[in-house]
Amino acid sequence: MTAEKQLWYMNAIFYEVHVRAYRDSNADGNGDLPGLISKLDYIKELGVDCVWVLPIYPSPLKDDGYDIADYYNLHPDYGLIEDFKNLVQAAHERGLKVIADLVLNHTSDQHPWFQVARSDPESKYHDYYVWSDNKEKYSDARIIFLDTEVSNWTYDEEAGQFYWHRFYASQPDLNYDNPDVRKEMLNVMKFWLDMGIDGFRADAVPYLIEREGTNCENLPETHEILKSIRSSLDANYQGKVLLAEANQWPKDVRQYFGDGDEFNMGFHFPVMPRIFMAIKEGDATPIRWIMSQTPDIPAGTQWCTFLRNHDELTLEMVTEEERQWMWQEYAPQPRMRLNLGIRRRLAPLMDNDHRKILLANALLYSLPGAPIVYYGDEIGMGDNIWLPDRNGVRTPMQWDDSLNAGFSDAPPEMLYTPVITQGSFSYKIVNVAAEKVDPNSLLSRMKHLIQIRRENPILAVGDYEFLATEVKQVLTILRKLDDEEILCVLNLSEQTQEISLDLSPWNGTSPVDLLSGEVFPTISNNPTSLKLEPLTYHWLNLTRES
């Protein structure tokens, strides 16, 4: 376990940044790399370990950069390769890691490979993509962008054939049966790793390979390709992380860890909506259930957990009934819904109640895994559901109450998207400058939570066990690592709860709440009763003095 603690990502907290949204250094209305560099001190102070930057490559931006037109360059809005090198260096100087998005599954239709592929069927690039003369193939594959796409096949006039795409029609899937495609991607990885980055968040990995008669997800051939990517990474670099975006059930994500020879990390998608269910209902059952469905993972691998990200809050990993309930509770207006999800940020989902936001984070941090903070959620930013697609959760970071929230010096009409100005989420109220100086602000309390979590790697990598209580509103998780023990107790409800726990194995211990410093009464052989205020949580240190 000691060796595991030394793998930097095992106990890391990640911070997800949309560079376009973060800080504009040249007053063109778009955030950029020099802008991000100028805010690294803020990120460091937040207490996180690693910055994940969303795609910053040249792109027609039909999917906000997940449609890449050149893997070896940067979108001019963001800066030059030199700026990227500066980012990595400046981050490393502060002890921060940097990971980039690796979009393996598809390119933009503007990528030169696709341009040649469609115009010249004889060229080697034609076979870089997946073509067919009809739309009948792979009919068991679902459509992911349900609100916009009617088929995974689109007819290309120039090629006179249909091409395959799991996302927007402007994102043709690469053909991973072609060894040249696999080689190209290894070169892409090498290019960015040689600039010193610390790894990749690998986008949409379940869909690399298509096979007739399957749903074209999680296929064995896909895993073989991913394993070979990992082995070439390991052969040439050390201490890098590969994080899998596979929006799947835990037993299927388990496959992406292989025998410790595929991904180092994988997102735990299904726990996320269940945190929202548990808090809305004041009932710990969904959490206990999903964790019971979560298999052990190999030594040296880690779950990556999150509450929100740059996409819609996905409801793919819930039942139809649960999805309807989540929509009804969290997305009452149709405009709040998108595909199979909800296009809202954390704070509005939590009724802007800081107790609930902190509870949701504390719950996330009480479970095994390395959590992600989505930029802006640490200050409780709001959303704008009227913007297209998922742009409503990608509005400019709110730094202060000056023009454009301190995001940009450009005239407001030049911003890539408007700053949030309305109601209680206005940048006049919700901003870093105001929260920084207020010890009770969401930002200050998030920093504290992050700090305590990081000081206690047991919460990231330790074993866990749910202790039995009669009260379903309360979640009690015993975390263990070597001879350390922490009892996480969370009251998920808006009412005061009293629980009684058999803590006799810790007879004689006086637990200290790691978060508040409060010392709890010494445990005896009698049941211990705890009174829990609404929406509160404690991390009780039960470690016995040796």
Which residues contact ligand GLC by CB under 6 A? 63, 66, 103, 167, 203-204, 245, 310-311
Rounded distance between C-alpha atoms, residue 212 and residue 278, angstroms: 39
Q: How far is the CB of 270 from ligand GLC (least distance, A)?
A: 15
Q: How far is the CB of 232 from ligand GLC (least distance, A)?
A: 23
Nearer to ligand GLC, 203 or 210 (CB): 203
Q: How far is the CB of 44 from ligand GLC (least distance, A)?
A: 26
Nearer to ligand GLC, 393 or 460 (CB): 393
Rounded distance between C-alpha atoms, residue 123 and residue 131, angstroms: 14
Nearer to ligand GLC, 55 or 371 (CB): 55
Rounded distance between C-alpha atoms, residue 32 and residue 20, angstroms: 6
Nearer to ligand GLC, 32 or 311 (CB): 311
Q: How far is the CB of 311 from ligand GLC (least distance, A)?
A: 5
CB within 8 A of 147, min separation 6: which ones?
A: 338, 339
Which one of the listed residues 16, 203, 262, 389 is annotated catalytic? 203
Give 43-47 contacts, CB < 8 A, sequence gap 24+: 43/15, 43/17, 43/96, 44/94, 44/95, 44/96, 45/447, 46/15, 46/373, 46/378, 46/446, 46/447, 46/450, 47/13, 47/447, 47/450, 47/451, 47/454
Token reading at 474: 């309360």
CB atoms within 10 A of CB 395: 26
- Which of helix, strand or coil describes residue 174? strand
Nearer to ligand GLC, 224 or 316 (CB): 316
Nearer to ligand GLC, 32 or 67 (CB): 67
Q: How far is the CB of 60 from ligand GLC (least distance, A)?
A: 13
Q: How far is the CB of 309 from ligand GLC (least distance, A)?
A: 7
Give 324-328 contacts, CB < 8 A, sequence gap 24+: 325/277, 326/273, 326/276, 326/277
Q: How far is the CB of 546 from ligand GLC (least distance, A)?
A: 46
Q: Do 132 and 162 touch, CB atoms closer than 8 A?
A: yes
Token reading at 515: 């978060």
* Residue nearest to ligand GLC as judged by C-beta position: 66
Q: Do 24 and 409 touch, CB atoms closer than 8 A?
A: yes
Rounded distance between C-alpha atoms, residue 80 and residue 74, angstroms: 6
Q: What sign has the CA pseudo-torsion 349, 353, 357, 362?
A: negative
- Which of helix, strand or coil describes residue 348? helix
Q: How far is the CB of 66 from ligand GLC (least distance, A)?
A: 3
Rounded distance between C-alpha atoms, residue 369 and residue 386, angstroms: 34
CB within 8 A of 360, min separation 6: which ones?
A: 275, 276, 279, 307, 346, 350
Nearer to ligand GLC, 148 or 510 (CB): 148
How, if at all, do strands 199-203 and 241-244 pair? parallel
Active site residue 203: yes
Q: How far is the CB of 541 from ligand GLC (least distance, A)?
A: 37
Residue carrying structure tokens 């999917």: 63
Nearer to ligand GLC, 104 or 364 (CB): 104
Residue carrying structure tokens 């100086």: 437
Which one of the listed residues 67, 173, 210, 245 is annotated catalytic? 245
Nearer to ligand GLC, 102 or 489 (CB): 102
Positions marked catalytic: 203, 245
